[in-house]
Amino acid sequence: MNSRFDFLKINEQLDERRAENVFRSCACIEERHGTEIRIDGRDYINFCSNDYLGLSSDPDLMKAWKEGIDIWGCGSGASPLVTGLTRAHRELQDEIKDWLGVEEVILFNSGFAANQAVVKALNGRNTVIYADRLAHASLQEASVLSGARYVRFLHNDPVSLQGKLAPRTGMIITEGVFSMDGDEAPLAEIRKLAEGSGNIFFLDDAHGFGVHGAEGKGTVSRQGLRHRDIDVVMGTFGKALGTSGAFVAGSREFIDYMINFSREYIYSTHMAPNVAHATRKAVRIVRERDELREELRAKVDYFRSRIAQLSLTVSQSTTSIQPIIIGSSEKALQWSGKLKSFGCYVSAIRHPTVPKNTARLRVTVTANHSYEQIDKLTEGLSSCQQLQ
Ligand SMILES: Cc1ncc(COP(=O)(O)O)c(C=O)c1O
């Protein structure tokens, strides 16, 4: 049957994906209770969520979310420069400023939007972007759209970066914790190169915020640096903080520039005020409850000790993100299917999200997994090995 989209060859592209075992579709979560989810009437333990501290179902945070609706209603109703920025947003900004010791903060509806905003506002045909080759899709996409020359350096390799840098030409981009590998960037070395070359350092710490460092301040703090030492830092709320949205922190002049020139900020309805209200509570919980991070660390250590007994290819990651590299997409799907039969849900991450032949099970261990649940996963993984 002819499709309206024939001339764009969308079916050919979808068929190609099916043939290469990289076709994607969304599972619908019918019910969710902490780490337990129901899909198509079957119950699973969720081992692929970024809710690292389990805050999305924290009773205090849920209460704050509802309280925010009682105070503010639902949507913000306007972009921030019109009437979309409420006291709830301002209080969240102030809380983050106090937490991280930074000059100014702005809020976005997602980390994806925040990354687009920063990269596109500061770059154009006359700048160069130096990005880690494993930088997140939102950063890669924004770099291409910005029109800047896009230069990739070897993953976590300051020597490779140094070899490519030219003075005062643009922006260096990396991540605190890499989303698909769980490893950390060497921030002090990269910062030194940024300073020495007069280039801007932009850090995406989506997966480090809340989880790492004193008071959960993130990878910057874990590595003994201060947020003020880095020109621009982005953090998300949809992962460890359990809500949704993101912030960008930097100097007053930089944030003023974003407010005046970032199209993603100016031309988009602002974050709902109840989300801002609840996220302020989430920041407080993260700051105060060290025991959540301790719990997480203990669970990650336990998982690593359990899988050390299986001869699997695992990364050196000590974070929640514990990828198990499988290789082919077909095999990754097989393993993911087998784990489902054990009641464990771990999606297979395949090309183009990760390089070809590095398909993986991106296991995430969270603070609210039980040790029994982790045992179940390792049992499942052991059984997957029989598939070889
Ligand atoms: C490294 C990184 N940056 C940014 C984002 C986007 O954040 P958000 O999910 O809030 O849009 C993600 C999301 O997966 C990510 O992994």
Spans of all domains in the chain: 22-51+290-385, 57-288
Inter-CA distances, 202 with 61, 103, 131, 243, 248, Å: 30, 16, 10, 23, 10
- Mean pLDDT of the 210-219 span: 96
Catalytic residue among 50, 115, 138, 199: 50
Of the candidates 72, 35, 83, 36, the one whose C-alpha atom is nearest the C-alpha of residue 55 is 35
pLDDT recorded at residue 2: 77
199 catalytically annotated: no
- Mean pLDDT of the 232-240 span: 98
* Ligand 1 atom 9: residue of nearest CA: 111
Task: Tell me the two tokens of residue 270.
Answer: 């602002």
Q: How far apart (Å, rounded) are the C-alpha atoms in residues 377 and 335?
A: 12
CA of 182 to the centre of ligand 1 (A): 13
CA of 111 to the centre of ligand 1 (A): 5
Say yes or no: CB of residue 138 within 6 Å of ligand 1.
yes
∠ CA(189), CA(362), CA(174), 5° rounding?
Answer: 20
Which residue among 138, 219, 237, 268 is best mutated to probe the pocket of ligand 1, counting the most ligand atoms within 8 A of its Cβ?
138
Question: How far out from the chain centre does Cα 63 lie?
Answer: 25
Q: Judge whether residue 283 has pLDDT over 80.
A: yes
Say yes or no: CB of residue 86 within 6 Å of ligand 1.
no
Q: Judge whether residue 234 has pLDDT over 80.
A: yes
Catalytic residue among 179, 244, 274, 329: 179
175 catalytically annotated: yes
Q: Judge whether residue 388 has pLDDT over 80.
A: no
pLDDT recorded at residue 326: 93
Tens digit of each residue's pLDDT (9 = 90 or more) over 33-78: 999 999 999 999 999 999 999 999 999 999 999 999 999 999 999 9
Say yes or no: CB of residue 246 within 6 Å of ligand 1.
yes
Q: Judge whether residue 156 has pLDDT over 70.
A: yes
Q: Judge whether residue 316 has pLDDT over 90.
A: no
Task: Tell me the two tokens of residue 168.
Answer: 């005062």
Q: How far apart (Å, rounded) are the C-alpha atoms in residues 315 and 317?
A: 5
Q: Judge whether residue 368 has pLDDT over 80.
A: yes
Measured from the Cα of 138, ligand 1's closest atom is 4
Mean pLDDT across the chain: 96
pLDDT recorded at residue 1: 65
Tens digit of each residue's pLDDT (9 = 90 or more) over 336-347: 999 999 999 999
Q: Judge whether residue 84 has pLDDT over 70.
A: yes
Rounded to 10 deg, the angle between the 371-385 and 290-307 helix axes is 30
Inter-CA distances, 266 with 15, 145, 257, 304, 344, Å: 39, 18, 11, 45, 42
Catalytic residue among 89, 120, 136, 299: 136
CATH assignment of 57-288, given 1.10.10.10, 3.40.640.10, 1.10.8.290, 3.30.830.10?
A: 3.40.640.10
Domain 22-51+290-385 of CATH type 3.90.1150.10: yes
pLDDT recorded at residue 194: 98
CA of 203 to the centre of ligand 1 (A): 12
50 catalytically annotated: yes
pLDDT recorded at residue 313: 79
Say yes or no: CB of residue 317 within 6 Å of ligand 1.
no
239 catalytically annotated: yes
Which residue among 179, 212, 268 is best mutated to probe the pocket of ligand 1, counting the most ligand atoms within 8 A of its Cβ?
179
What confidence tier does 387 reach under pLDDT thresholds 50, 70, 90? confident
pLDDT recorded at residue 305: 93
pLDDT recorded at residue 364: 97
Say yes or no: CB of residue 238 within 6 Å of ligand 1.
yes
Q: What is the pTM of this model?
A: 0.96
- Mean pLDDT of the 102-116 span: 98
| Residue tagged 């840098």 (tokens) | 165
Q: What percent of the chain has pLDDT over 70?
A: 99
Q: Which residues, other chains included, contact 362 with Cβ-Cβ below 8 Å and sequence gap of 6+?
A: 48, 180, 321, 323, 346, 347, 349
- CB 384 within 8 Å of CB 338: yes
Which residue among 49, 52, 112, 275 is best mutated to probe the pocket of ligand 1, counting the most ligand atoms within 8 A of its Cβ?
112
Q: Judge whether residue 350 has pLDDT over 70.
A: yes
136 catalytically annotated: yes
